[in-house]
Amino acid sequence: MLDVELERLTAHLDSLDRPAVAWMLPGVDMDHVSSVLGEPVPDSVARWFRWCNGIASVEGQLQDDVNAIPGYNPLSIEEGARMMASNSGDPTLGDHWVPLLGSAGGDLYAAVWAPGEEAVVVGVLIGEPTEVEFSTIEQMVMFFNRCFDSGAFFVDDQGQLAMSPDQYDEIYACTVG
């Protein structure tokens, strides 16, 4: 089901003519993900990086151009590993985690797991406590798709990917909360 939801997310971005779709780097296999992280990872983490291994850097690219959801772009497994090394002192993340989406300001959506268990998704916001946002990666992607379906995520008059905070909160409360 996660693969279907990831395909739907790409289709939403494509239907809105988001440049990120053309710059999505091909995904990598489970062996590559495990070799970079140095450990076995949950299937959902491997599926995420099989869908997209970050966004290509192109001259003249704007942050909004690379976003898959308002304010956040998919990270490569290598970018994630570098971020993990620089955030290794955050005790709330533990030893088994990897960033999935990042913002220009350093905020992250990260997968966190215990060995042999499925990953949850936490929000790592600069200056805020790290909190579980979604019980699975699939739940996160389904939520994002619902935001696109309902118009909570949209392209604004300036051509940027934007969101309606009220609709977002309402969908979150019905989907996750």
* pTM of the complete model: 0.95
Instruction: Tell which residue, 161, 156, 139, 133, has the closest CA to residue 69.
Output: 161
Instruction: Tell which residue, 27, 1, 16, has the closest CA to residue 154.
Output: 16
Distance CA 99, CA 140 (A): 13
Mean pLDDT throughout 80-99? 82
Mean pLDDT throughout 73-84? 94
**Using CB atoms within 10 A of its CB, is residue 153 exposed (0-12), middle (13-18) or buried (19+)?**
buried
Distance CA 148, CA 168 (A): 10
Instruction: Provide, for the chain, the percentages of residues in helix, strand and coil under a 3-state DSSP scheme, each rounded to the nearest 5.
Output: 40, 20, 40
Instruction: Tell which residue, 113, 108, 111, 129, has the closest CA to residue 121.
Output: 111
pLDDT of residue 40: 86
pLDDT, tens digit, 9 for 90 and up, residues 16-66: 999 999 999 999 999 999 999 987 899 999 999 999 999 999 999 999 999
pLDDT, tens digit, 9 for 90 and up, residues 152-165: 999 999 999 999 99
